[in-house]
Amino acid sequence: MLKTIDSLGELRGKRVLVRADLNVPLDGTTITDDGRIRAALPTLTRLVEAGARVVVISHLGRPQGAPEDKYSLKPVVGRLGELLGQDVAFATDTIGDSARETVSGLQDGEVAVLENLRFNPGETAKQDGERHVFAQALASLGDAFVSDGFGVVHRKQASVYELASLLPSAAGELVLGEVEALRKVTEEPERPFVVVLGGAKIADKLGVIDALLGKADRILIGGGMAYTFQKAKGFEVGKSLLDESKIDVVREYMQRAEANGVELVLPVDTIVAPEFSADAPTTVVKAGDIPADQEGMDIGPETAKLFGEKIADAATVFWNGPMGVFEFESFAGGTKAVAQVLSEADAYTVVGGGDSAAAVRILGFDESGYSHISTGGGASLELIEGKDLPGISILEEGTK
């Protein structure tokens, strides 16, 4: 069982480090999707109301262990302040003079954000010792630690793993909610249990398929990963995404699905184009009939209808990965159809983070139409697979 904020006792006047995931998409300094900031609010609000001195730490982007202006968390601070309804202080470094001064200046119920964790090489260092040194410096700024960045709990990083071992630690509201929702899907799902998988890289989803072949009633495969399945069936896939190295694995999965009584549903038609372009001319072809000079860009209308029928009677649905290149309007139809069916389904519906969560927002769907939208694509997949997540295991009862 995960330790909760209640286990930390009285928080008034205590400096509480909160590992959030504020890795929001930016257009210059403009936030284009504040979903991750909003997801952090329940924990931050609870700590503020408890009178804690809240120190938010996060990464943004992939800087290489040194400061880069384009990855600064400064644009996040203003939006976080607006959502919290109070001024939020900002430290221009992570463990330096600015961080120490900013934290020491906090009063009860006030919030500060430290600069991007990944500006320090110790955050993501491969050597345990390097991460530990950085975590010790972070720990000196706080009295307690709350882990609430679900999107990074599958990473063994200083602010996720080592820091939790150095301070009294607990899971935040977001992490608790994520774990509960995803375990509800995998441990005792109400049936029929339908899994919808898409996205470009089949390698990213093989572990999930492997884990769910003994649990799901139906697995629907769309997106770029579907073409490797179709090739395994002997279909022509033209210039579509294909992972030749995984064909034998996929063929074995198809045989296991049949042996286990799991219905594996593949596209019956595909929208193709001669090139990867928003304004490329489109054609709908039957599965297996993709011309050599064309590539699959989205599931076709018949597949969208079929997938809708296969979802309609589900009691539990887990969806991860778009059905096509949803960023281009011409190829968003399949993803939009799945999102629509799930939003209307009388089922426990979990959107497994990453591009699927982004698609829900970008395509204009009301997030309240889904039972749970995960904030962590990779973390949610690894939890579904049954893998040990370092940032979760360190928060289990019995650890520091």
Burial tier of 110 (Cβ tally within 10 Å: 0-12, 13-18, 19+): middle
Query: 61 among the known binding-site residues?
Result: yes
- The answer to whether residue 36 is catalytic is yes
Which of the following is catalytic: 79, 201, 251, 305? 201
Query: 356 among the known binding-site residues?
Result: yes
Helix extents (H) in the chain: 35-49, 74-84, 97-104, 128-139, 163-166, 173-186, 206-212, 226-232, 247-260, 301-312, 333-344, 354-362, 377-385, 390-393
Contact 67, 31 (CB under 8 A): no
Residues 6+ apart with CB under 8 A from 368: none
Compute how many other C-beta atoms are within 10 angstroms of the C-beta atom of residue 265. 18
- The answer to whether residue 74 is catalytic is no
- The answer to whether residue 334 is catalytic is no
Tokens of 157: 């990083």
- The answer to whether residue 354 is catalytic is yes
Query: 34 among the known binding-site residues?
Result: no
Phi, psi torsion values for 119, nearest 5 degrees: -75, -10
Which of the following is catalytic: 14, 15, 19, 36? 36
Tokens of 23: 């890795």
Three-class secondary structure of residue 109 per DSSP? coil
Three-class secondary structure of residue 144 per DSSP? strand
Residues 6+ apart with CB under 8 A from 50: 11, 12
Query: 223 among the known binding-site residues?
Result: no
Query: 353 among the known binding-site residues?
Result: yes
CA separation for the pair 394, 388 (Å, rounded): 10
Helix extents (H) in 201-246: 206-212, 226-232
Query: 296 among the known binding-site residues?
Result: yes
Query: 100 among the known binding-site residues?
Result: no
Query: 355 among the known binding-site residues?
Result: yes
Three-class secondary structure of residue 112 per DSSP? strand
Query: 59 among the known binding-site residues?
Result: yes
Query: 36 among the known binding-site residues?
Result: yes
Which of the following is catalytic: 142, 321, 324, 354? 354
Which of the following is catalytic: 46, 361, 378, 387? 378
Query: 248 among the known binding-site residues?
Result: no
Residues 6+ apart with CB under 8 A from 59: 21, 23, 116, 117, 118, 123, 152, 159
Residues 6+ apart with CB under 8 A from 315: 189, 190, 191, 192, 193, 347, 348
Query: 212 among the known binding-site residues?
Result: no
Tokens of 171: 């899971």
Query: 188 among the known binding-site residues?
Result: no
Query: 132 among the known binding-site residues?
Result: no
Which position has the token pair 């975590």? 135
Query: 279 among the known binding-site residues?
Result: no
The binding site for ATP comprises: 205, 296, 327, 353-356
Q: Which residues are catalytically annotated?
A: 36, 201, 354, 378
The binding site for substrate comprises: 21-23, 36, 59-62, 118, 155
The binding site comprises: 21-23, 36, 59-62, 118, 155, 205, 296, 327, 353-356
The binding site for (2R)-3-phosphoglycerate comprises: 36, 118, 155
